Amino acid sequence: MLQIQGLKKRYGNFQVLDGLDMAVPEGSLYGFVGPNGAGKTTTIKIIVGLLKADEGIIKFSEQVADHGNWQEHVGYVPDFFGVYDNLKVTEYMEFFAACYDMEGLKARKRIMALLEQMGLEDKKDFYVDGLSKGIQQRLCLARALIHDPEVLILDEPTAGLDPRTRFEFKEILKELKDQGKTIVISSHILSELAELCTDVGIIDQGKMALTGSIDEILSQVNSSNPIVITLLGEGRELALNILKSHPYVHTITVKGQEIIVRFTGDKQDEAVLLQQLVDAGILITSFTREQGSLESLFMQITGKEEERTVLKYENESGL
Amino acid sequence: MKMNPVYKREMMVSARSLRMSLIITVFNSILAVVALLNMYSNVVQVRITADVQYGSFLDLYEFVACVEFIMLMFIMPAITSGTISGERERQTLDLMLTTKMKSWEIVTGKLAAAFVTMFLVVISSFPVIAMVFVYGGITWGNVAQMMACYVVSALFAGSLGICCSSLFKRSTVATVAAYAVLALTVAGTFAVNMFSYSMARMDLNTAAYVMGNMGGVTVNSGGFLYTLLVNPAVTFLVILQKNAPASTTGILQSYGSREPGLVMNHWVLVSMAVQLALSALFFLIAVKTVRKKGIGRNA
């Protein structure tokens, strides 16, 4: 549906985008994640036509953005809400409908349908500058959908909204996805993206660091998470000696009876390690890999590579 | 035919605002009071001297025409210089630019809305101008010529305002820039001609020659006179001079006498053409820069 190849953008001496590749599958809800300054908003502004890329190609449904009329395919919800004074909700919508050459009965029907979908039918005669932020953001979403675009691009749309409004907004997005819209959403609230998105792309320093379906990514996250070993009684010294000598162990953190191990081996290697510990006579009450989260992966990708630390103590001394 | 959405929205919002009704009321009240005082003074003069000075009725026409022109030149940049930059400040420009609207449609809608608003004020003053027709001395042709001058001047000042609005990020900076360029165009061209004419008159050789020949040689501001072609105030004064020759001496002759030529003979037409060309240039700059972020904006 939306394909980006080798996107480059430079502001002065600062290379914001450095050959960004991105593929958003049709009908997906694509989470676009990255730290501040990674190039998310720049990418989005290039996609919607507000900025020109120095290099690269953007394709929508067989059309190249540089040549096609991509505005017809894209709806844009920025992280702000532009307010006009003295303009009512329906007039605001009519104005943007007219910007897409939609007028008369067709436009009015579409506006009413969208206001109903967003739960704003009772606000149609309100002035837009008097609406709350949550309502304004829903109106902004309705505005972006006025021309029935195939792709909807949202730049941190839930920033600054209260939890209930965020939940409602999320539900609307799910509904839109079910209607077949392809949605790209950039956000810092990673936990929300994890349960909302079907696909995720993590951008760092102007490049796509990781991309794929949410299931694939979460399974990667799980394998990169630490193993927590809980011991019973004495035997920690012996357990630590075994762990230190293991080639797949990168870091060890001791917290009381718990040993937290960053272990890069697969399931087979995990089983072998457990077997070694049990064979050494160490009493183990649990041996589990921590559940992964998008946040941990995000931190891992966008942070600096962790140095190999064999031992780290917390609330303990002398080992 | 599809109405420009920006124009439609601007007019809708403007119609809801109290500001426009207030401007029209205050402006026409002032004009009406001045007109009535003018008529009263004429009547009193007739009672005292038994001499009817018909020419003095034309003062009213000049006054109204001058007030309207000054208002156009002052208000048009004020209205237009905040249009594009105001959209940037409200962050609504980005939303418009992601629609099918073209840059030229946005600029045209903004300019047309300001133009129509301004002309609503001008046309509302017609009843006061109509009082002049009671005494005669001004023809419909004169009024039409003056209206043409207003249209061109409003387009010139409006295009300049919208150009600055598109170029600069902040409305205040855009407004200051628009007035600065307008002041340079109006006062600057006068100043250049005055300076040039003074220098020519101070030329010792010429002065001696002139004294010896009792004005046999003409002294003028030279080619600088043609800079006045860009000055809407000069066009206005030339028209006013033709309409009411008794009250205004030739503005073009203020900088030395000249041989008649194509430009001198058709000054009004040529100057209007030059100002329209400049308006088109300002408009094009505005269209080209509307998608840029504006001077003074961080990347």
| Residue B127 reports pLDDT greater than 60 | yes
Contact yes or no for A95 and B94 at CB 8 A: no
Q: So where are chain B's domains?
A: 5-289
Contact yes or no for A87 and B100 at CB 8 A: no
Q: Give pLDDT, residue A34.
A: 83
Q: How far apart are CA B20 and CA B161, in angstroms?
A: 19
Percent of chain B with pLDDT over 90: 36
- A-chain residue closest to B7, CA distance: A95
| Residue A42 reports pLDDT greater than 50 | yes
CATH number of A2-219: 3.40.50.300
Three state DSSP letters for chain B: CCCCHHHHHHHHHHHHCHHHHHHHHHHHHHHHHHHHHHHHHHHHHHHHHCCCCHHHHHHHHHHHHHHHHHHHHHHHHHHHCCHHHHHHHHCCHHHHHCCCCCHHHHHHHHHHHHHHHHHHHHHHCHHHHHHHHHCCCCCHHHHHHHHHHHHHHHHHHHHHHHHHHHHECCHHHHHHHHHHHHHHHHHHHHHHHHHHHHHHHHCHHHHHHHHHHCCCCCCCCHHHHHHHHHCHHHHHHHHHHHHCCCCCCCCHHHHCCCCCCHHHHCHHHHHHHHHHHHHHHHHHHHHHHCCCCCECCCC
Q: Give pLDDT, residue A284.
A: 92
| Residue B122 reports pLDDT greater than 90 | no
**Least Cα separation, residue A196 to chain B (angstroms):** 26
Q: Give pLDDT, residue B211.
A: 59
Could you tell me which residues are beta bridge partners of residue A9?
A: A17
Report DSSP letters for A68-93, one per residue: S-GGGTEEEE-SS----TT-BHHHHH
pLDDT higher at B122 or B276:
B276
Contact yes or no for A78 and B91 at CB 8 A: yes
What is the per-residue pLDDT across B132-178, written as a single tens digit (0 to 9) for each?
777 777 888 888 888 899 999 999 999 999 999 999 989 999 999 99
What is the per-residue pLDDT across B49-81, written as a single tens digit (0 to 9) for each?
877 777 777 777 888 888 889 888 988 999 899
| Residue A319 reports pLDDT greater than 60 | no
Q: Give pLDDT, residue B34.
A: 82
List all residues of chain B from 7 to 36 with a beta carbon under 8 Å from chain A: 8-9, 12-13, 16-17
* Chain B environment of A78 (Cβ under 8 Å): 91, 94-95
Q: Give pLDDT, residue B162.
A: 95
Check if A2-219 and A221-314 are the same fold. Answer: no
Contact yes or no for B100 and A72 at CB 8 A: yes
Q: Does residue A117 contact residue A142 with C-beta atoms inside 8 Å?
A: yes
Confidence of residue A307 (pLDDT cuts 50, 70, 90): very low
What is the per-residue pLDDT across B223-271, written as a single tens digit (0 to 9) for each?
888 899 999 999 999 888 876 544 445 777 777 777 777 888 888 999 9
User: How many cross-chain Cβ pairs, A to B, lie less than 8 Å apart?
Assistant: 67
Q: So where are chain A's domains?
A: 2-219, 221-314
Q: Give pLDDT, residue A57.
A: 86
**Least Cα separation, residue A239 to chain B (angstroms):** 55
pLDDT higher at A32 or A312:
A32
Contact yes or no for A86 and B13 at CB 8 A: yes
Q: Give pLDDT, residue A221.
A: 66
Contact yes or no for B100 and A50 at CB 8 A: no
* Chain B environment of A76 (Cβ under 8 Å): 95, 98
**Fold topology of A221-314:** Alpha-Beta Plaits (3.30.70)
**Least Cα separation, residue B70 to chain A (angstroms):** 29
